[in-house]
Amino acid sequence: MYPAAFEYSAPKSLGEALDALAQVGDDGRVLAGGQSLIPMMKLRLASPGHLVDINGIAELSYIRQVPANGQPGYLAIGALARHADVAASPVVASANHTVAAAAKWVADPLVRNRGTLAGSIAHCDPEGDWNSVMLAAGATVVARSASGGERLIPHSEFVVDFFTNSLRPGEMVTEIRVPAYTGPAGGTYLKLERKIGDYATVGVATHLVLSASGTIAEAGIALTAVAGHNLKVPAAEAVLVGQTPSAAVFAEAADVASRACEPDSDVRGPAEYKRAVVREYVKRALAAAYQQASAPAGR
């Protein structure tokens, strides 16, 4: 099936792209990797009247660590950084284990070479991997518009619902900021899939930061494909904070996470099976995060 007719523009600068989005308003969509948008357009599940192709804007293709106040600061991922770029980046590998672990799980090599991390995040597919990672890691979305300048959106406020984000008309995601490690910290992403490149049956992202005394100072847990949107689990995180890491504490947090999710029974398995996977994967992912955090220099 062919997509419905649409207008097309290919700006060469961020300013031109923002001006184009301001002109088309709600009828416009940003085209980056196109690995989700184009198939939806072909199936007539999305019918934007105007595509703003940002692939010619070289300034948006970057991955770098930005120091702040003498600290490691944050990992900055531009809107045109491809999944494969994230997977291969030594900067990502040293700055955040959860992001590094997830990159290899995204779709298949063809999609990873073309699709973008920021585009996947903006798409808000509840079966997509990146929003769970960013929820667990405490990321921030940078959005820009021609009229409103730059807006920083905590990731917990960016994912609104099923295929729905909190971008305003005329805004586009220009950067994702992920806190870089400043001390003993670790995290991972575990994904159950039927075959390579498939959507997740269950995905679990974790993030832990240890205090100087060895207790858990910060915790992040987020789930993929077991609710109407990528699901952060504050109640499970609260079980961990202030506690000494142990198998018993991890199991308690895993039980809370499994009760918080709302999976559907489908071709990938019944709901109770998915809850059981969430429980087991949260335990494993927390253990892996703790092992990384307690290694020398938190690496």
Share of residues in the chain with pLDDT > 90 (%)? 90
Quick check: 247 pLDDT over 60? Answer: yes
Mean pLDDT along residues 58-76: 94
pLDDT of residue 297: 59
Classify residue 128 as exposed, middle or buried by CB count within 10 Å of its CB (0-12, 13-18, 19+). buried
pLDDT tens by residue, 4-43: 999 999 999 999 999 999 999 889 999 999 999 999 999 9
Q: Are 54 and 34 in contact (CB under 8 A)?
A: no
Q: Report the pLDDT value the prediction gives residue 21, as an integer from 0 to 100.
A: 96
Arithmetic mean of pLDDT over the chain: 95
What does the pLDDT average to over 213-234? 97
Report whether 137 contacts 220 (CB < 8 A).
Answer: yes
pLDDT of residue 299: 45
Task: Give the pLDDT confidence score for residue 225 in this predicted structure.
Answer: 97
Residue 107 has pLDDT above 90, yes or no: no
Name residue 107's amino acid. Answer: A
Sheet order of strands, 185-192 included:
185-192, 202-210, 216-224, 231-232
For residue 182, what pLDDT band results from cuts at 50, 70 and 90?
A: confident
CA pseudo-torsion sign 94, 99, 67, 61 = positive
How confident is residue 298, by pLDDT bands cut at 50, 70 and 90?
very low
Lowest-pLDDT range, 148-162, 259-273, 285-299? 285-299
Q: Which residue has the higher pLDDT, 297 or 241?
A: 241
The Cα–Cα gap between 237 and 225 comes to 19
Percentage helix, strand, coil for the chain under 3-state DSSP, each rounded to 5: 40, 25, 35
Residue 207 is predicted with a pLDDT of 97
Mean local confidence (pLDDT), 203-228: 97
- What domains are there in the chain, each with its CATH number? 7-53 (3.30.43.10), 58-179 (3.30.465.10), 185-294 (3.30.390.50)
75-99: per-residue pLDDT in tens? 999 999 999 999 999 999 999 999 9
**Cα 299–chain centre separation:** 22
Whether 197 shows a pLDDT value over 80: the answer reads no
Tell me: the pLDDT tens digits for 45-57? 999 999 999 999 9
Q: Is the pTM of the predicted complex or chain greater than 0.85?
A: yes
